[in-house]
Structure formats: C-alpha cells, structure tokens
Amino acid sequence: MIGSALGFLGISVFVGLPVALAILFCTSIYFFTSDTMPPVLVFQAFVSGMESFPLLAIPFFILVGEIMNASGMTSRILVFSENFVGHLTGGLAQVNVLSNAFIGGLSGSANADAAAISKTLVPEMEKRGYDRAWSSALTAAGSIMGPILPPGIALVLFGYLANVSIGKLFIGGIIPGILICIALMVTVHIVAKRRGYKPTREKMANPRELWSSFLDASWALIIPVVIIGGIRIGMFTETEAAAMAVVGTWAVGCFVYKSFKLKDVIPVLAETVRITAIIMLILAASNGLGRMLTFERIPHMAAEFLTSLSDNPYVILFIINIALLVIGCLADGSAILIVMTPILMPTILALGIDPIAFGIVMVLNITIGGIHPPFGAMMFTVCSLNKVSVGQYTREIWPFLAAVIAVLLLITYVPWIVTVLPNLLM
C-alpha cells in the first residue's frame, strides 16, 4: 500500500496538482486503506503539523519582507549598493548582486528577493544596455542568498523538521551567504568584461556620499543584526526575534522613512496570509506523510541503503547533493525540504555529519533548484516579471549556476565554513 500511496504522490506532483493536496491525498490513501492504522491518524497529523511555536516565525519573517518592499527600503539599499560597487566592471550587475545580499538578509525569501529586484533594477539594467535575459538570470541567481542569510525561512523549516537550533542555523548561513555573493560578483566581472558592460560611475563614491547613503539604508540593514544579536545574548527566541523584526521594520517604515502608509497595510497583510497559508498547508499535510514514512520505516531503510553504498561520509554527501540538485529542479523547494529532511537526517546523524552544516548544504541545494530549469520557482518569477522566455533564461543561467554549485561543494566538504561562527558565538 505504501507503494501505491507514494506512486500517487509522484504522479500528482508531476501533473501539477498543488503539493499540499497531493501529499494529503497520498497519506489519506495509505491510512484509509491500511488494516493496522486508524484513519483518524491522518486528521490528527494534519492538525498537529501546525502546533509548533517555532513555526510562528514563518509568517512574521514573511511580513518583514512585505513591509520592507512596501516601505521603499529596497530602493535605499540599491542606492547604497551603487555607491559602494557601481565603479566595478559591470557596475549595475554588481549592484544587483550586492542588493540581493542585503535584501536577502531582511526578507529571508528567495522569491521575494527575485521579485523585488526584477521590479526595481532589471528595467534600469536593460536601459543601460544590459541583456534582459542575462539580467534576469543574474537576479534569480542572486536571490539564492535570501534563504541562506539570516533570517531565512527555509532555515526555520529545516530547524523545526530536524530538531536542531534555528539560531545556530541563522549564524551558520552568514559565511556561505557571503561566499555566494563573492562568487557571483566574480562571475559578473568575468562575463561583463567580455560583453563590455561598463561601470555606472567612474570611481567609488567619496566617503561623505558613501556614508550618507549607508546611514539612509542603515535602519533597514540593522534589522538582521538585531535579530542575530538578540538570539545570541538570549534576549529572545527565534520566534520572538521574528516578532520583534516585524515591529522594527514597521517602525522604520512608518516613523523613520515615513513611506509605509495606511493604504499599504491591507495588501501587505493579504500577501503575507497568502504565502503563509501555502507553506502551513504543506507543513500540515506533510506531517501525515512523515508518520506514514516512519510507520513503514522508510527513513531507516534509506539510511541503510545509503550507508550500504559507502561508509565514507564524503561519498554519501556527494550522492545526496546530486540527488537533491536533480529533485530540486523538478519540484517545489518547500515540499522537498519537508519530505526529504526526515528521510535523510538518520543517515546524516549515523555518519557523524554535523546537522547544522548539513542544514545549510540542504537548503542551498534546494534553493539552487529554484533557479534551474525546468521548474525553478525563481526562474518562473523573473521570467514572468521581466517578460523573458524560459529558453532565453536557460542560455544565460549556466555561469551563475556553476558559481553557486562551486560554493555548495566548498561548504559540503569544508563544513568548518558553516560551523565556525555558531561554535564561536553560541
């Protein structure tokens, strides 16, 4: 019966049924046709899947990103980024990467970052002679930093599913996020030099201009610092930090920048509710899937299978990376994270691999799937907003894809890059 249920799940996702409904139907088939499992378990699992205090952080962090976009914080970050890196080869493209890094630390969502940069910067890049498909591919690649830099929503999900410290995951994502930023900026420099994309200014802004633009953006940039600092000194939990981030972002938008108006409240709350509902529905449905897999000992069998291939953790990590990269470009990232984390964690723990390091590797893997054809979420976002075909996008994404995969391999085989800050600070 487990085979029929999982087969139905695979077919449902392939034909485009919403992931939450596919998972719910799959588990319902299993529990309602089982001779040993009472059907009521599927309903209990659905409800208990949302009964977790740490999950409150998800709508709060989504709300932070929506307030940030509505209050114009993004434009201030763009100005500071241009003053800082606009003099480099491919100046506006470098601004794109750096802005994605700064905005990613605020919104925690790759899709939100891709949409924000697509609306604000890609049209200007096209006006200044940049290829629109290339600019779109760069924007999608830069959005990868959103889930990795704190406070990434995917890190909250992984921490909840794997029962590891969300605070440590937040801090562990800082260095990998910076490395992705550097890798993309180097790639931009190489490609921009070949294509003749010029700087946007002759030299870096003078210290006074740079400082002025930094001060203007600093209220937005300081929010991730407050979140991490508050968690580090024990002032509040990750969920409480998310609530404080909402209050801080709202206060900055209303009273400092004075750009967040009463008319913005309803659209912001509506979008937050919409995104939260999608994530929570998948979480609730997947709790039943987790019980089904546990009852059938699927995680245990998966662990036995992987360890039978090799007892070398580096080989196992390579196999997992390949599998996640393939799966990541075929299905929704949140669904993959929710389904695969319970399956893979027993293997990771059995091999003595640090779960914090693996969490960053897994989230990065799945996020890379979001920019990869044929079904990447950020790919569809930038293509639709910038009116670029998937074919045009696909031709331009490969250098950026190679850069972020290089970083993925680096943090996979040098886990110290991820764990040094959490071990030092927490």
Domain boundaries, given as residue ranges, for the chain: 1-48, 49-425
362-383 confidence digits (pLDDT tens): 999 888 887 887 666 677 778 7
Q: What is the pLDDT of residue 187?
A: 93
Q: What is the mean pLDDT of residues 311-315?
A: 83
H helix or E strand, kind and range, residue 365: helix 355-369
How far out from the chain centre does Cα 363 lie? 7
Average pLDDT of the chain, as a whole number: 79
Q: Name the band, by pLDDT with cuts 50, 70 and 90, for residue 179.
A: very high
pTM of the model: 0.78
Q: Name the band, by pLDDT with cuts 50, 70 and 90, for residue 155.
A: confident
Distance, in Å, from the CA atom of 214 to the CA atom of 355, rounded to the nearest integer, reads 36
Q: What is the pLDDT of residue 348?
A: 87
Distance, in Å, from the CA atom of 75 to the CA atom of 78, rounded to the nearest integer, reads 5
Burial of 373 (0-12, 13-18, 19+ CB in 10 A): middle
Most confident of 114-118, 121-125, 171-175: 171-175
Q: What is the mean pLDDT of residues 402-414?
A: 93
Per DSSP, which regions of 4-153 are E strands? none
Structure tokens, 348: 């990771």
Q: What is the pLDDT of residue 3?
A: 64
Which residue bears the tokens 């995969």?
A: 405
**Encoded amino acid at 189, one letter:** H
